[in-house]
Amino acid sequence: PKYWLIVPAAGIGQRMKAEYPKQYLRINNRFILDITLSRLMDSGLFAGCMVPLNADDQWWPESDASSDDRIQTCSGGTERVDSVLSALYALNEQVAADDWVLVHDAARPCVHSADLANLVSTLSDHSVGGLLAAPVADTLKKARPGSEATVSETVDRSQLWRALTPQMFRYSLLVNALETALKEGVPVTDESSAMEFSGNMPVLVEGRPDNIKITVPADLDLAGFILGRL
């Protein structure tokens, strides 16, 4: 089977309070999206890459990736899941049913090449796939609903993981799972949740906790620091 990469980049990054979407903020004068794409494409693993973009995107033509002929674009959708499905459909002519698709957030530029290699080698013989994830380090509190947040209980963290990306699944299983989850109205915040709903349980592959998703402005400095040390 071949490996295909999807990097959803159609979000508008509301939580960043910036003038443009977070994938087009710059670290060391490069778009975050360009850093992410080059870190993954440099692996030489992928037969192709599809990047779903927002209909109002004005920045892609300025990216380094736009002149890379291994990278194709398609139009994204309202939610992340719509963007990923649109990319899966756009790849349809080129892929086989049991090819692997790796989905990675544009906003995670700190992904480590050793984690990518480990994910792929761990799962290459698996029938479903899985995801990079990191064990939860903090003690977790569940809040009692109400105007003032009060603890209702401490949650046992020993079995809890933070879902990271890439998430890697067989092409046709992923398409079916995302379509079903959308139809049934199941919340899909990552590909794994749709797979879980379909009953195909993904494997957790431990990854570095510094594979952060840039979400709020302070994450930009943190990502710059992490990238400097990778």
Q: Which residues bind ligand C5P (CB under 6 A)?
A: 8-11, 23, 52, 76-80, 83, 105-107, 213, 215
Residue number with CB closer to ligand C5P (9 or 223):
9
Secondary structure of 144-191 as H, E, C letters: ECCCCCEEEEEECCCCCEEEEEEEEEEHHHHHHHHHHHHHHCCCCCCH
Q: Which is nearer to ligand C5P, 108 or 170 (CB)?
A: 108
Nearer to ligand C5P, 24 or 171 (CB): 24
CB of 97: closest distance to ligand C5P in angstroms? 24
Q: Distance between alpha carbon 191 and the CA centroid of its chain, in Å? A: 8
Q: How far is the CB of 64 from ligand C5P (least distance, A)?
A: 17
Smaller CB separation from ligand C5P, 115 or 191: 191
Residue spans of beta strands (DSSP E) within the chain: 3-6, 26-27, 30-31, 48-53, 71-75, 100-103, 129-135, 140-144, 150-155, 161-170, 203-206
Q: How far is the CB of 93 from ligand C5P (least distance, A)?
A: 21
Nearest-approach distance from CB 144 to ligand C5P, in angstroms: 27
